[in-house]
Structure 1
């Protein structure tokens, strides 16, 4: 299939689209790293491994076990060399599974025009605000560099007829950087509840994975069961509208948490999103089932 993604049964797009456009996120990180004397060396090595394998996977399929192994290696390097974890191996293991799961959720959500670029821009802007005005947890230059790369990417992705998708290299790279930034924020803010900054993706991705486990499906196989996929495919809502909904939801979640930081807001946000997800699926999932088959 190569770097050009032609539409198929699992796709939510029509027409040929270039994959791997999100390599700009990796390039942006490298530029920041070069200009800041490789402050985050372990992260750079981990991200390079992750981006390299992912870019190859965008061109030709890589064994899923190799992909997964590289993701764990990248995350463990990030955790050890960024000063995020000084606890027991059990804590590192749990964080590793959470981080790898989050990376893959970012990958799963890169399916329609504007989703990865739009959602990530909201998160990046919120993180920049927090870093500047609430808790300083990372280099503002890094966040600004990611925002600039997202703006450029959106010029080609956030449009009626998209020119490129982020691809594995882009979705996993931006997911990796956000995981690092949010974990740094949790550490400096002394609360894991800052994970709310990624709440919309985590709820949609996490509950969809749980749903597929309950259906006894192979999680390594492609599917179209995410809420955004049902909106775009079964309900035929325009892609940019769906992406806009996710951007708006995450914006509200970020504002609510920033105004009332702490676990009460965390549980309120995740609780409200979970109820919304369940009600949506209860009302519309039958449309997906009526089409039949895992890929429909």
Structure 2
């Protein structure tokens, strides 16, 4: 991977996303396509929803250009097709609300199609299961990641920051491990598109991503994570997104144990409770970014020390969750 290609992937998608999200925001506001606050919201004023259009319209052409330029277009086409289908169904859901069946069936279809883009001879579980079972379990994990990324898009700046660090972290891992250069460039393109979006979504947000962005973005990142795992860097693939994986999974299991409907919207994630305890959106996101930086460093270290990096990663997550769980005492001005 040349330095020029890396710069173009990052800076090009950042600029394109920045401009496109701005145009999309103006359109959404003009058409009054707004997310109005309710008892499950973390915002207090009506805000345009659907800024993810700008993110994905910057990212998907960039991936097509990267794939075409490096002779990998046919391999990435299933991901482009799956992400496009998810954008369409998610936009319908953003506009008028759909039941879980059409959304879930489209996600399953996108994951099935996307399986063709995984390394044909690479086992995500590193030989712990035969190929057919490896692919089934990888499909379930991919489907879960698509949904958890959507669940975690609940406060200003969080999903964009996570996408930027996961994309950038995977690019670093791919480059250090000497993997195919397109993998690193795909990751940098995600990071750039997410950073461009953050210009508009950082607290106080001028626009929300919406399902039209968070669902296909989770799908694209899920493919990158599974691909890196199938290439043998499974510890890194677990470490880079570890905060989102932990928060969403623990919250789901806790709600299931309490007999609650796990598919319903709520405000029980660790990051949401942190804002309820007095932390601003920006404070929570900065704490997550600090933890993510440590997780990316551990992912890079895992290329040398393997699974031994995982306990340190677990410690980082526990410290972050403990930090988010503390109430904030504001000193009166």
Q: Report the TM range for the smaller structure's normalisation.
A: 0.7 to 0.9
Query: Which of 54, 61, 67 is equivalent to 1:24?
Result: 54
Residues 21 and 170 of structure 1 are in contact (CA less than 8 Å); yes or no, is this contact kept in structure 2? yes
State how far apart, in whole Å, the 1-side matches of 2:37 and 2:140 are. Answer: 32
State how far apart, in whole Å, the 1-side matches of 2:211 and 2:271 are. Answer: 18
Q: Is 1:144 matched up with 2:188?
A: yes
State how far apart, in whole Å, the 1-side matches of 2:316 and 2:205 are. Answer: 32
State how far apart, in whole Å, the 2-side matches of 1:108 and 1:74 are. Answer: 18
Instruction: Give the TM-score taking structure 1 as reference length.
Output: 0.86
Q: Is 1:241 matched up with 2:283?
A: yes
Q: Is 1:212 matched up with 2:255?
A: yes
- Report matched runs for 1:27-106 at 5 Å: 27-35=57-65, 36-37=67-68, 38-39=73-74, 40-83=76-119, 88-106=131-149
Query: Which of 169, 191, 197 is equivalent to 1:153?
Result: 197
Query: Which of 295, 307, 314 is equivalent to 1:270?
Result: 314
Structure 1 unaligned segments of length 5 or more: list them: 285-296
Q: Is 1:253 matched up with 2:260?
A: no
State how far apart, in whole Å, the 1-side matches of 2:149 and 2:271 are. Answer: 13
Q: 1:141 to 1:273 in 2, by over 3 A?
A: closer
State how far apart, in whole Å, the 2-side matches of 1:74 and 1:138 are. Answer: 25
Task: Give 3-state SS (helix, strand or coil) of 1:243's partner.
Answer: helix
- What is the CA deviation profile of residues 99-145 of structure 1, one whole-angstrom value per residue up to 9, with x for unaligned ones? 11111111111111111111221222222222223342451332232
Query: Which of 267, 270, 275 is equivalent to 1:224?
Result: 267
Between stretches 139-148 and 172-181, larger displacement belongs to 139-148
Query: For this pair of structures, how many residues does the alignment match?
Result: 281
Query: Which of 161, 164, 180 is equivalent to 1:121?
Result: 164
| Structure-1 residue corresponding to 2:211 | 168
Residues 135 and 185 of structure 1 are in contact (CA less than 8 Å); yes or no, is this contact kept in structure 2? no
Residues 126 and 254 of structure 1 are in contact (CA less than 8 Å); yes or no, is this contact kept in structure 2? yes
Q: 1:189 to 1:60 in 2, by over 3 A?
A: same
- What is the CA deviation profile of residues 158-195 of structure 1, one whole-angstrom value per residue up to 9, with x for unaligned ones? 1x321111111211122111111111111223535522
Instruction: Give the TM-score taking structure 2 as reference length.
Output: 0.77
Q: 1:118 to 1:276 in 2, by over 3 A?
A: closer
Q: 1:14 to 1:137 in 2, by over 3 A?
A: farther
Q: 1:216 to 1:122 in 2, by over 3 A?
A: same
Residues 236 and 300 of structure 2 are in contact (CA less than 8 Å); yes or no, is this contact kept in structure 1? no
After TM superposition, what 4+ stretches of structure 1 lie above 6 angstroms from structure 2? none
State how far apart, in whole Å, the 1-side matches of 2:270 and 2:191 are. Answer: 26
State how far apart, in whole Å, the 1-side matches of 2:321 and 2:52 are. Answer: 28
- What is the CA deviation profile of residues 44-68 of structure 1, one whole-angstrom value per residue up to 9, with x for unaligned ones? 1111111111111111111111111
Residues 236 and 302 of structure 2 are in contact (CA less than 8 Å); yes or no, is this contact kept in structure 1? no
Task: Give 3-state SS (helix, strand or coil) of 2:262's partner.
Answer: coil
Q: 1:33 to 1:117 in 2, by over 3 A?
A: closer
Between stretches 121-130 and 235-244, larger displacement belongs to 121-130
- What is the CA deviation profile of residues 21-62 of structure 1, one whole-angstrom value per residue up to 9, with x for unaligned ones? 112332123312442333311111111111111111111111
State how far apart, in whole Å, the 2-side matches of 1:248 and 1:196 are. Answer: 14
Deviation at 1:215, TM superposition (A): 0.5
| Structure-2 residue corresponding to 1:294 | none
Task: Give 3-state SS (helix, strand or coil) of 2:240's partner.
Answer: helix
Residues 163 and 190 of structure 2 are in contact (CA less than 8 Å); yes or no, is this contact kept in structure 1? no
User: Cα RMSD between the aligned structures?
Assistant: 2.4
Deviation at 1:247, TM superposition (A): 1.2
